[in-house]
Amino acid sequence: MLLNTFPFFVFFVLVFYFVLEDRQTFSVVLLLLASSIFSALVLPYLALIIVTTAVNYFLCTGMGRFRQYKKYFLLSALAIDLAILFIFKYYNFFTSPFKFPALNLLLPIAFSFYTFSNDRLHARCL
């Protein structure tokens, strides 16, 4: 689904019509579902987004439950997020001088922003 097509316009209008109503929980669930559907239609990396969201959620809740291990949860979250970002964004750049095979992976839109936002939220949990 491209941004300049009629189906996207209908999708956009319907989602934000229901989001602007006063039902806050429904709006949050609808936005999550709509962004997941859009991500799955634009790039086939919906599983990556779901997995990173789940991992970050469980690590952040672990930081809240087990206060004595907060630093380990934080370091784990940072390592996982930055490893995924490195593989998708910087792998070809760093391995090209050494003649390693290139990975032809497309990074989902705004995944760097998503990763650094998650890391900022983890740091706020400390």
Greater confidence (85 vs 2) lies with 85
103: left (phi over 0), alpha (psi -120 to 50) or beta: beta
The stretch 113-118 carries a mean pLDDT of 82
Residue with tokens 């634009």: 42
pLDDT above 70: percentage of residues in the chain? 79
Name the burial class of residue 122, with classes exposed (0-12), middle (13-18) and buried (19+) by CB atoms within 10 angstroms of its CB: buried
Which helix (H) or strand (E) segment holds residue 38: the answer is helix 24-42
Write the pLDDT tens digit of every residue in 70-106. Answer: 999 999 999 999 998 898 888 888 888 888 888 888 7
pTM, full prediction: 0.68
Residue among 80, 86, 89 at smallest CA distance from 109: 89
